[in-house]
Structure 1
């Protein structure tokens, strides 16, 4: 009796219609940019020269290529920014022939509208220049680079986040976004904050930067820098008020996971000088970038949510 034999099953083939994870989040972000362009009259992109805003601008460029990006850019300049980041911001704007608005915190301090904080940080002072610029220029949609994995208050945010006529955020007014349907309806004087990177993680951002060959400021890679220890972080000395007596400046090999005001953005010890090394480091991290390196989020348990309610990013 002859034994029956079964032909080997064919090897599974990749579905050519299935998007990779990065393709999926890229496609979603590009869709959001195009939705806003079609629905709003005067949108704006917040652009600081940090990695998330750089990725956001890259997506906007892809969304409307070969045409130019149909939005202006805005940077709320604290005056305590990292020089490397400001240089990258200006080079990027010039390369793509974009229009950049700058709202200066220093101008508001000079006019007596704002006061310096005792701790020297100006990040919480960004709210008034931001909201007044939005109102003065009548921007009705404002793109931000916030991601839900960064911080618990940002995890509450929808992709389209309605702000009232004072730019304030009320989580109870968040609208459902079933099936990726976005509701941009707003009353006169109100506007919508839009977060195309909402569903991205820090690791997604870095993997996308590597895939797309996006240029970043060198500050994101390991380099020797003079820093001092305060509040569990390595901070950069500067005109903002550091170091104080008893705080010793030393040279260390560090890099930055996120960048903001020098007074509240900490560096991490790192020897990651390539994208692959940074990605491996992020994949092994157990703290979010803001949780690990942003002192302004540690002012209170609800520091970010309080600032968002007032009109912050």
Structure 2
């Protein structure tokens, strides 16, 4: 069954806005002649959102302002249009986010009139519930605020933008991923998901992480963003930035520290493939200033975005799996 399409655009007349957009996009007529891979991925994700809405009482969408969570929100809005989104958003703020991401997050929340819960790592550090790591990286510190936010708000289903192509531990995970009362993930408790049938059964205190983008690749994400004209934070496109090189990545200076004495700040054309804790997430040199250029760049890459620009995943081969067992995304 074909799903009615809606772009995340600000307009009082959605139909006229979509018609105006399509008039300048002749490739859309060709796409509608057949059911494409992107159509199948979109329909699967929308089906998952609707299944969760019917099966759980208090779902929430993890929203960081990154491209995957922005795409997740786009699909969720489309799944329930023209009704309002029946979920709130949850952001675990490390305090080390790039400023463009926080600005974009707040802009999207205001644009769509959404409710945003923020779990702040800074607050946990200030009152002693967490201690700063020697390396200054805060991504691993997100787990406790995340689990507390889920517990305090009684969320029983948590949507995440993780994809199986990102990292080997995420490739093991089902679309419906059961977490125990401590938020921990056990690969042995993964349930079969045959014929798009999902088992959301869980005991009191447990919850289910839900990953509607599991079967998407980074290239699928960018193809869909280009097709639907999804608005992203500007740092996903090439721009001039003061950066310094560390461990093969181009880092931005900020409250998280750096550069060191032996690291030289340069002005380069860069873009971010993924966003996260500024102390461990790097940019890549790029001239890709629009979706088509990014698509060509991603198609030619032989490294996933996390493998190329996330230092916290390089700690060990099992770094992500270890964090997931503790309750991480």
Instruction: Tell me by how many angstroms 1:230 deviates.
Output: 1.0
Q: CA RMSD in A?
A: 1.2
How far is 1:22 from its partner? 0.4
Tell me, yes or no, if structure 1 residue 212 matches structure 2 residue 228.
yes
1:18 is displaced (CA, Å) by 4.8
Matched residue SS, 1:117: coil
Q: How does 1:80-229 map to 2 (within 5 A)?
A: 80-229=96-245
Deviation at 1:16, TM superposition (A): 7.7
User: What is the rounded CA distance, in whole Å, between the counterparts of 2:185 and 2:34 in structure 1?
Assistant: 37
Find 2:86's aligned residue among 70, 83, 89.
70
Tell me the distance in 2 between the aligned counterparts of 1:162 and 1:15: 37
TM-superposed CA distance for 1:232, in Å, is 1.5
Please, what TM-score do these two structures have when normalized by structure 2?
Answer: 0.90
How many residue pairs get matched? 300
Residue 63 of structure 2 corresponds to which residue in structure 1?
47
The runs of 4+ residues in structure 1 deviating greater than 3 Å are: 14-18
- Distance in 2, matches of 1:241 and 1:124, equals 17
Cα distance in 1 for partners of 2:130, 2:259 equals 23
Q: If the length of structure 1 is used for normalisation, what is the TM-score? A: 0.94
**Partner SS, residue 97 of structure 2:** coil
**Offset of residue 59 of structure 1:** 0.2
Separation in 1, partners of 2:260, 2:135: 11
Q: Provide the residue aligned with 1:255 in structure 2.
A: 271
Residue ranges of structure 2 left out of the alignment (5+ in a row): 1-29
Q: Which residue matches 1:241?
A: 257
Choose the corresponding residue for 2:316, options 286, 300, 303.
300
In 2, the alpha carbon distance for the partners of 1:33 and 1:209 equals 19
- Structure 1 spans left out of the alignment, 5+ residues: 1-13
Task: For 2:31 and 2:279, locate their aligned partners in 1 and report how far apart those are by CA, in whole Å.
Answer: 49
Q: 2: distance between equivalents of 1:94 and 1:226?
A: 30
Q: Deviations over 1:167-204 (max 9, x none)?
A: 00000000000111100000000000000000000000
Q: Residue 246 of structure 1: CA displacement?
A: 1.1
Alignment map for 1:261-280 (pairs within 5 Å): 261-280=277-296
- How many angstroms apart in 1 are the aligned matches of 2:179 and 2:242? 40
**Rg larger in 1 or in 2?**
1
Looking at structure 1, the residues matched to 141 and 33 of structure 2 have their Cα atoms a distance apart, in angstroms, of 47
Cα separation, 1, equivalents of 2:250 and 2:93: 22
* Local SS of the residue matching 2:89: strand
The alpha-carbon deviation at position 301 of structure 1 amounts to 1.4
Work out the CA distance in 1 between the residues paired with 2:247 and 2:305. 16
Q: Deviations over 1:76-120 (max 9, x none)?
A: 000010111111110100011000000000000001111111111
